[in-house]
Structures are given as C-alpha cells and as structure tokens.
Amino acid sequence: NRLYAFQMKYPENNVAVIKSLSFRKVSKIKKVTVLGLDGNINYLQTEDELKIYIPDNYIENKKYPHCFCIVFE
C-alpha cells in the first residue's frame, strides 16, 4: 500500500503534480511524506491529479532529486 515516487526536478511554487495518482486511477491516499523530512506534508488528491505541497523548510534541498512516500488506504 506504499508507492515511492522520485521527482528529479524541483517543482515550481513548491507544488509537485502527479497526474497518474488521481481519484480516477488509484485508491484514496492516506498520507504523503518526503523522505528526509519529519512528519506528513499537505496534499490534495482530485479527479485529475495529486498535488503535493512541499514545505518551505525543504527549499535548501532544491537542487537534488527527492522522493515522496505515498501511502494508500
């Protein structure tokens, strides 16, 4: 019930968008974390996409790839 998604380029406006994880295509998401950060991060799963809101305190790692851990219900 976990998926690890790597993002090679830091997203504009601190919002990562993954269209393949919409309500239409996968189960409801229970939580999202970024490996290397403590705690959950805010996200929004819609019929069209998953938006992951990366916190400002992660900006220092902007030039490196990062990994999201996405947990499904």
pLDDT band, residue 9 (cuts 50/70/90): confident
Please write the tens of the pLDDT for every residue from 33-53.
988 888 779 999 999 999 999
**CA atoms within a 13 Å half-sphere pointing along the CA-CB vector of 16:** 27
For residue 39, CA distances in Å to 5, 26, 55 come to 17, 23, 11
